[in-house]
């Protein structure tokens, strides 16, 4: 009962993509807030919550979660199951905030994983790391490098059949 409920609460990142596409992202807010309390020292859930707030048009709440998540993830030696997807989520928030300092740190952390598909544990896929590197490169004022990353992301996402992520990379 209670353990299953906790597990479901922690699986909400898998619903980000489908609910976003349906314009129903707000339905995740309560469970996302709760997950950051279940795992307060896990920067992964805070990173996803920051991204969610950004997409919901709540920039102050996104900024608060962003700073805490960035601190936890950047300073941590742990590379848990949500680490890479969390770096991706923070990349989008850093870009939206034009935060070049954090964008540089995130680029440095994500670069070694350029050939990877970002996943949140075994429950959610967020596409090629190259997409997020492209977003970060553009934020850092390196548009040509950003385009190259996005082209690689488009090719990678097409190869693995990740159509939505291919579309995002093509659009960006």
pTM for the model stands at 0.89
Rounded to whole angstroms, how far apart are CA atoms 95 and 110? 14
Q: Which of 89, 97, 3 is nearest to 44 (CA)?
A: 89
Do residues 43 and 79 touch, judged by C-beta distance below 8 A?
no
Q: How many CB atoms lie within 10 A of CB 11?
A: 16
- Give 10-residue mean pLDDT values along the chain (172 residues): 52 84 90 76 86 94 92 78 91 96 95 94 89 98 98 96 90 90
Do residues 172 and 164 touch, judged by C-beta distance below 8 A?
no
Q: For residue 125, what are the β-bridge partners?
A: 119
Query: What Cα–Cα distance (Å) separates residue 119 from each residue in 30, 59, 111, 143?
Result: 22, 25, 16, 26
pLDDT of residue 39: 65
Q: Would you give the DSSP letter of residue 116?
A: S
pLDDT of residue 32: 87
Q: For residue 163, what are the β-bridge partners?
A: none
Query: What Cα–Cα distance (Å) separates residue 90 from each residue in 67, 95, 96, 113?
Result: 9, 8, 10, 15
pLDDT of residue 1: 43
Residue 141 Rama label (left phi>0; alpha psi -120 to 50; beta): left
Q: How many CB atoms lie within 10 A of CB 80?
A: 15
């Amino acid at each position: 009962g209670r353990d299953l409920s906790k597990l479901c609460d922690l699986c909400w990142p898998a619903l980000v993509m489908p609910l976003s596409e349906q314009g129903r992202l707000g339905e995740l807010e309560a469970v996302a807030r709760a997950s950051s309390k279940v795992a307060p020292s896990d920067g992964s859930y805070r990173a996803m919550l920051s991204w969610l707030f950004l997409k919901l048009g709540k920039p102050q709440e996104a900024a608060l979660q962003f700073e805490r998540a960035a601190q936890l993830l950047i300073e941590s030696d742990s590379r848990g199951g949500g680490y890479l997807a969390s770096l991706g989520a923070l990349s989008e928030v850093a870009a939206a905030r034009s935060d070049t300092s954090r964008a540089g740190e995130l680029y440095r952390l994500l670069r070694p994983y350029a050939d990877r598909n970002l996943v949140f544990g075994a429950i959610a896929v967020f596409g090629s790391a190259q997409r997020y590197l492209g977003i970060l490169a553009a934020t850092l004022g390196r548009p040509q490098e950003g385009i190259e990353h996005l082209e690689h992301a488009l090719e990678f996402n097409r190869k693995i059949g990740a159509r939505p992520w291919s579309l995002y990379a093509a659009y960006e």
